[in-house]
Copies of this chain bind each other. A is one copy, B any other.
Amino acid sequence: MDAIQRQLLEAVSGLHEVPEGAYNIRANGQSVERNSTEHIQITSKDDGKGIDIHIADGTKNESLHIPVILSQSGLNEVVYNDFFIGDGCEVTIVAGCGIDNCGNSNSQHDGIHRFYIGRNSRVKYVEKHYGSGDGMGKRIMNPETVVELGEDSYMEMDTVQIKGVDSTKRLTQAKLAKGAKLEVMERLMTHGAQRADSHFDVEMNGEGSSANVVSRSVARDSSYQMFSSNIIGNAKCNGHTECDAIIMDEAKISALPEITANNPDAALIHEAAIGKIAGEQIIKLMTLGLTESEAEEQIVSGFLK
């Protein structure tokens, strides 16, 4: 890997070196480094368009890193990664995609991640998206995450797209069995003429299942964001979504959250708020010696932390 690739790798996965545990590093359309462990087996799909990850029952305190980096302008790829996670696991999975585009052609990565999670497992899934490069070509990422969460399992999703992604369509679908619990925290910032669409479909099918989907976003310059969701309660369950957005400059934001109760024991709540930074907050920080733009930065980074 060259310097740009190493920089992307750090931005999306926090890695300076080859990580501990299982990993698969994909660069410019190919797996460049891979390590399976006793409990986490990574194999290429037969058609070469992605990987299968099998995590054995009872795998605990192990991690998997699967960063993707694109530094070649004009590359356009669709990758299917399937995660088969057994019963009684406790694992952390760090995915991420970094695109550096210094050329004039668009670079695009569409990653479809499907999770089949057994019973009584705990999965933490972290996903970071980052773009850099001063070419005219766009940096495009369309992540799709599909989750089947088994009985009494728990999944925590932490997704971040802070900078440099020109266009993104994010789609997350989850189906929850009895007692399953999903926690999602999405953080998004768009700037320039960027466009971001984020959609969540969560079906709570099992008794006692619950979902909490929180989205925090900042839209700057002339960027556009669309957040939509449908939280469906088909059983006795608890669902909550929250979508808070800061609007700045000439940006536009829509939020379209749906909640559907198909069962009288479904309890569903949604909250959404779009607004600009309160003037008092800025003035308060300016009295402490910050300039107006420093104050804004401070508030934005606190909001997205």
Residues of chain A having any CB pair with chain B under 8 Å: 233, 245, 247-262, 264-276
Question: Nearest CB to that of A278 among chain B residues?
Answer: B267
Query: How far is A255 from B250 in the complex, measured between Cα atoms in Å?
Result: 29
Can you identify 12 A-B contacts, CB atoms within 8 angstroms?
A: A233-B274, A245-B261, A247-B264, A247-B266, A252-B260, A256-B256, A259-B274, A267-B273, A267-B274, A267-B276, A269-B271, A269-B275
User: Min CB distance, A269 to chain B, in Å?
Assistant: 5
Contact B270 A259 (CB under 8 A): no
Tell me if A268 and B259 are in contact (CB < 8 A). Answer: no
Asked if B275 and A267 sit within 8 Å, CB to CB, the answer is: yes
Are A252 and B258 touching (Cβ within 8 A)? no
Whether B255 contacts A258 by the Cβ 8 Å rule is yes
The majority secondary structure among interface residues of chain A is strand
A sample of 9 more A-B contacts (CB under 8 A), given A257-B270, A269-B274, is: A247-B266, A255-B260, A256-B256, A259-B272, A265-B276, A266-B274, A267-B274, A267-B275, A270-B271
> Which of B255, B262, B272 interacts with A252 by CB under 8 Å?
B262
Give A233 Cβ to nearest chain B Cβ, in Å: 8
- B274 and A272 form a contact (CB under 8 A): no
**Residues of chain B with a CB closer than 8 A to A275's CB:** 261, 266-269
Bound form: Cα–Cα A255–B256 in Å: 10
Q: Of B233, B252, B259, which contacts A261 at CB under 8 A?
A: B252
Instruction: Give A272 to B253 CA distance when docked, in angstroms.
Output: 19
Interchain CB contact under 8 A, A273 and B269: yes
